[in-house]
Amino acid sequence: MKLISHTIHGMIDYATVLLFALAPSVLGLTGAAALISYALAIIHLSMTVLTDMPLGIVKIIPIKLHALVEMAVGPVLVVGALVLPKLFAGGQGFFVAAGVVIFAVWLLSNYGRADQAKA
């Protein structure tokens, strides 16, 4: 059952951007972990702004491509944080949790066309 509409998904995406952008300061992430967090904030913001959904601004990325990226990013974050602990030093738990949440949002989101999904 898909519980998350396009509009709610967009809100979650923008909140995710904020979390990745603030994590280095709030959690004290440094080095590669901070760079990864900032990069994910920029990438997630770009994807959200450019996706064809109600809270997207430019609407050039199909929602199905957005879904494919999120389907991959969630597990990659979890596995990366667990397999490369030095790279994610100080933020392993944060990146594992973020990966799990991103994957859960992917599982629960309605990625049908915007006119088929409740906005």
Give domain status of residue 46, yes or no: yes
Give domain status of residue 119, yes or no: no
Give domain status of residue 116, yes or no: no
Give domain status of residue 115, yes or no: no
pTM of the model as a whole: 0.89
Q: Residue holding tokens 């450019």?
A: 50
Strand partners, 109: 4
The per-residue pLDDT for range 21-64, each reduced to its tens digit, is: 999 999 999 999 999 999 999 999 999 999 999 999 999 999 99
Q: pLDDT at position 52, please?
A: 94
Domain count, the chain: 1
Give domain status of residue 45, yes or no: yes
Mean of pLDDT values over 71-80: 97
Burial 7-41 (b: 16+ CB within 10 A, else e): ebbbebbeebbebbbebbeebebeeebbebbeebb
pLDDT bin (cut points 50, 70, 90) of residue 119 is very low
- Provide CB contacts within 8 A for 65, sequence distance 6+: 51
Which residue range(s) make up the domain with 44? 6-108
State the chain's mean pLDDT as an integer. Answer: 92
